[in-house]
Structure 1
Amino acid sequence: MRAAIQVLSATMLNVEFITGNLGNGFIVLVNIMDWVKRRKISSVDQILTALAISRITVLWSLYIVISIFSLYPDAEVTMTTVRLANLTWVISQHFSIWLATILSILYFLKIANFSNSIFLYLRWRFTKVVSVALLMSLLLLSLDILVSNIHIDIWMNKFEANVSYSYKIKNFTHISKLLVLTNSMVTLIPFTVSVTMFFLLIFSLWKHLKKIKHIAKSSRDVSGTAHIKALKTVFAFLLLYVIFTFSLFVHLWSYEFGEEILFKYFCPVGIIAFPSLHSFVLIMGNTKLRQTSLLVLSVLRCKIQGCGLLCL
């Protein structure tokens, strides 16, 4: 039973890893090709491209770490490996969350409809809003790296005093908990901003629906459709991030219970789902990416059908 669950979870993990790289790679490729063709790139495409690149980095760093510690749970880990793995994880995860948050802010400013002077100012100064958000994110990134390195230094000093370990860590999970807790506290800020944007979009949609109640409805409510599409995208991001965080904490703390919890084998699947599945949410929520993906799928289907006919 346990072996079957391990095989199933490993298969799901590999499928998510491959599809995640394909989805994020597709976003990067389409936007770069469009940029080369048109000699310009929109702010949305810039954010999506940078977000997809950060997600690819997150996928590879997560997949490598999960694979190593799943196959070799008792392997010795050097301090250099800990620092390098943590730095890669913190930077890639940081930009993955912050860029998705900036995308949520963009949806809010471009789609929501408020007469508030502050909102109108922010809408017209979106570039400055992005610059300030990125600057704040860099300050928080520096703080995250600083605190993480302090935790690592304390952990290293503790084990240097023990000659049996001699500059090496025997159990990686303890330091991992501290680093994940630190990173989670920092990423709580952009997550809260995204939740705020989500509820403000709901409020804007409610106001819009209330307004058009007393007006003759057109055949197509463009603003309402845009609100719903943005809400779906932001909600998917929030849901996947909650699953990601929950799976990550359960995965780390499950090692204290040994082999008793079978659910822990599916935790890596939940962890990889965030950077993997969110890329397809972004593709379906973007008109250009969605149309290009449908075109690619139709071409592939024609080629497969063509090959099948040739074989016959």
Structure 2
Amino acid sequence: MGIAIGIIFAVIIIVQFIIGNVANGFIALVNIIDWVKRRKISLVDQIITALAISRIDMLCSTFLIVLITSLYPDLNTAVKMVKISNNIWIVANHFSIWLATSLSIFYFLKIANFSNYVFLCLRWRLNKVVSVTLLLSLVLLLMNILIMNMHIDTWSDGSKRNVSFGFRSKNCTRFFKLALLINTMFTCVPFTVSMVAFLLLIFSLWRHLKNMQYHAKGSRDPSTAVHIKALQMVVVFILFYTLFFLSLAIQLWTSESQEKNNLFYATLIITFPSVHSCMLILRNSKLRQASLLVLWWLLCRSKDVQTLVP
């Protein structure tokens, strides 16, 4: 990768980092203020708020890892920093992914329509389903942290025993490839759950539209509109989730000579928590109205400043 292309990707990462933090901070702030005012908060707002906070943590930890890998070509001097930043990223990425998966489960159970007894039981216990899903995911989080720390300790001990090992170039690349493999394996579970919920929601919508056509009610039925709105949210989520998942997986297939492409893959990874949060603001009526009020206030302030300037 040339210097110019590297600078371009670095600028994109910085822009996405700023946009993602502003968007997620805005989501968390609006929902927390509404929570304080109403003294209550819905389940979906709880999920979105926690998701926004976890994504801020994920963006910061990803940005930190990019800096570490750029500033420390010989990672022997930064073992502790690597372990801390990796643990922070694993925790942030875990909650970001699983909260987003819980959001897709929420839309599926809330909007889809099946007469299956298991589905109806899950719908009636929607709050418990989300809570149990997040609690069970903590087991995977613990396993992920333990395996990753064992991997880092083994890498560190090997470098201390053999100075020539050094973990430069190829060895450094192998370290990150194995770390990516571990994270990708643990990402497969929530990704599969989200895909299943997505496909079942599509099937529910298709069957619902077929029934509407049979009864000649048309596509303007309120239930159909709710189906389509939820489906749009899940489609956007799945697209960016797939992009995020592939950005992890593709790095495992690339050759070791392509380690300079890390900035490119970091750009793809940051896209998911940044752009998807912006889409959440646009598709959520409360967040969209709050964003319009902020934009209107900023526009009025800019006009006032212009009038004061001679």
Equivalent residue number for residue 5 of structure 1: 5
The gaps in structure 2 that reach 5 residues or longer are: none
**Residue 265 to residue 157, structure 1, CA distance change in 2 (3 Å):** closer
Q: CA deviation at 1:201?
A: 0.7
| Alpha-carbon distance, 1:133 to partner | 0.5
Shift of 1:75: 5.2
**Alignment map for 1:254-269 (pairs within 5 Å):** 256-257=256-257, 265-269=263-267
Contact 1:250–1:264 (Cα < 8 Å) also in 2:
no
In 2, distance between residues paired with 1:82 and 1:70? 12
Deviation digits for residues 173-202 of structure 1 (CA, Å, limit 9, x no counterpart): 322221221121112111100000111110
Q: Please give the alpha-carbon distance, in whole angstroms, between the structure 2 residues aligned to 1:125 and 1:258.
A: 48
Closer, same or farther: CA 199–254 of 1 in aligned 2, 3 Å = closer
1:71-82 to 2 correspondences below 5 Å: 71-74=71-74, 76-82=76-82
Task: Please say which of residues 133-142 and 80-89 is displaced more in the overlay.
Answer: 80-89
Partner residue in 2 for 1:286: 284
Confirm or deny that 1:275 pairs with 2:277: no
> CA 1:119–1:235 in 2, change beyond 3 Å: closer, same or farther?
same
1:135 maps to 2:135: yes
| Match in the other structure for 2:109 | 109
* TM-score, reference length from structure 1: 0.89
Indicate the residue corresponding to 1:126 in structure 2: 126
1:272–1:35 Cα change, 3 Å? same
Counterpart CA distance in 2 for 1:47 and 1:213 is 35
Aligned residues: 308
Shift of 1:308: 3.1
1:20 and 1:276 in contact (8 A); partners too: yes
Do 1:9 and 1:269's aligned partners in 2 also have CA atoms closer than 8 Å? yes
Asked if 1:45 is matched to 2:45, the reply is: yes
The alpha-carbon distance between structure 1 residues 303 and 215, as it changes in their structure 2 partners (threshold 3 A), is: farther
Shift of 1:113: 1.1
Query: More deviation in 19-28 or 274-283?
Result: 274-283
Deviation digits for residues 24-79 of structure 1 (CA, Å, limit 9, x no counterpart): 00011001000110111111111111111110000000011112322443454433
TM-score by length of 2: 0.90
Note closer, same or farther for the CA distance 1:149–1:75 as it changes in structure 2 (3 Å cut): closer
8 Å CA contact 1:5, 1:265 repeated in 2: no
Is the Cα–Cα contact under 8 Å of residues 77 and 172 in structure 1 kept in the other structure? no
Farther off after superposition, 155-164 or 45-54: 155-164
Give the letter for the 1:14 counterpart.
Answer: I
